[in-house]
Structure 1
Amino acid sequence: MTLDPSDDLAAVMTAAAAALKAPIDLGKTLEHLLASVVETVPGVDQASLSITTRDGRIETLAPTDERVVLADKLQYQLLEGPCLEAALSEPVVETPDLAADPRWPQYGPKAAALGFGAQIAFQFRAEPHVRGALNLYADQPHSLDSDTRALGALFAGLVAVAMGWSRQEDTMNQALITRNAIGQAVGIVMERYTLSPDRAFAFLVRTSQDSNTKLRTVAERIVTDVITRAANQN
């Protein structure tokens, strides 16, 4: 559905941006963003995200329809198509007529058989390692225009923000877990060897260096050992 009044469009974009306020549930946020894409972007009937993984695979997230999942999988399997090219190399990949596009002789007709006439994909990056594409599908050929490209690029930027904030939140949570584990281990070492906080921390650092083990791992092992001994005594 295309929104005509600018106030309606502004309301949708404001709601989409509000969904990015941390802390966020990444899965629900992406689903909300892609639902907003379908509601807002002219000519677009379905949407999905293609995300590259560290082991070289590409997977689909937040699809708005089962047909999109099938179309995405076809591109991954056939190694051709807009979402694949955008996720791996090109900033924007568009085809006004999937069935007749000579660039993808295998994928195009199969996508048309699924009911898709046109497609455009926007690459996005979320530092440090996330890269993927926002995939927009239209049922009718030649239904994507300059407004589609402008708003699609905007939503691709919002997706990148969501992915980046989620990563940042995960990093912050991991840092908090590490700090708590080290703090507990310092307390244990202080009591066990009658050391000051500074000397107890230095003990952990030296143990980490001598054993070529991460400081967090050393701390977690000490805490786990104390918990296990206490449980065995009860």
Structure 2
Amino acid sequence: MAPAVPGPERTADVEFAELAVVMARVSESLHFPMDVNDALDSITAGVVAAVPGIDFASISITSKDGRIETLAPSDEAAVRVDKLQYELGEGPCLQAVLADPVVRVDDVATDPRWPAYGPRAAELGVGSQLAFQFRAEPHVRGGVNMYATKPHQLTLETCQLGGLFANLAAVALGWSRQDETMNEALRTRNLIGQAIGIVMERYRLTSDRAFAFLVRTSQQGNLKLYDVAAGVVADANAKAG
């Protein structure tokens, strides 16, 4: 007996199973402690593995000085096409990062919105393109860029799954910044603790009075408590050296 031909339900089951594996892999990369670069690499690799029609992907983020840079490209082709958009100052990638939540291009070569970018992107092997804006508090803004080598490859499913991965990128970058904030808070706490210990020993004070001394010095000098503590520690280190 000839083997049964898989029907639509079986095909859907297989696709869902593959998506579940990809999402599990991405979710694992988002657990604390998290390496944000590994997490973003997992996200762009997941885009290529799970989003129908997409051949390569990248993430663009804005920096404090206004520049836009590429993170976690799944392929060197993504780096080249992203760079082209940055240099020309136009393209779906920039449009998503700076303005529109979602930018869809079914035929890059003929789309009139980006006359300089479109033909050159087609020469680099881009047929269709999809970009999703994301924001990661407090200050990260960027986009997930998805490229297909053929035109008219974007479907409703492509857009739905693409949006899901854009949300994951926002989560990864948001957690990363939160982790940086927590680390900075720990560094501040440790420095103030060192300063309190130095003041206690130097002036024979209790910890409460030593802390009050630092606060009073901060207020009188109109300085941040961190800066006062840093000065006390630096002075003690200089004398010890």
Percentage of matched positions with identical amino acids: 60
TM-score by length of 2: 0.92
Letter in 1 for 2:76: E
Letter in 1 for 2:87: Q
Match of 2:102 in 1: 92
Moved >4 Å (runs of 4+): none
Matched pairs, number: 230
Does 1:199 find its partner at 2:178?
no
Does 1:122 find its partner at 2:163?
no
Match of 1:208 in 2: 218
Which among 78, 91, 107 is matched to residue 81 of structure 1?
91
Cα distance in 2 for partners of 1:72, 1:92 equals 16
Aligned-pair CA distance for 1:130 = 0.5
Match of 2:180 in 1: 170
Cα RMSD after superposing both structures: 1.4
Match of 1:182 in 2: 192
Moved more, 196-205 or 111-120: 196-205
Cα distance in 2 for partners of 1:20, 1:66 equals 24
Match of 2:151 in 1: 141
Letter in 2 for 1:64: S
Does 1:52 find its partner at 2:82?
no
User: Structure 2 regions of 5+ residues with no counterpart?
Assistant: 1-12
Moved more, 41-50 or 12-21: 12-21
Letter in 1 for 2:57: A
Cα distance in 2 for partners of 1:70, 1:191 equals 60
Cα distance in 2 for partners of 1:146, 1:110 equals 27
Aligned-pair CA distance for 1:7 = 1.4
Aligned-pair CA distance for 1:55 = 1.4
TM-score by length of 1: 0.95
Q: What whole-Å deviation, never above 9, does each CA across 1:111-167 have from its counterpart, x for those lacking one?
A: 001011000000001011101000000001001111110010000000000001111
| Secondary structure in structure 2 of the residue aligned to 1:5 | helix
User: Structure 1 regions of 5+ residues with no counterpart?
Assistant: none
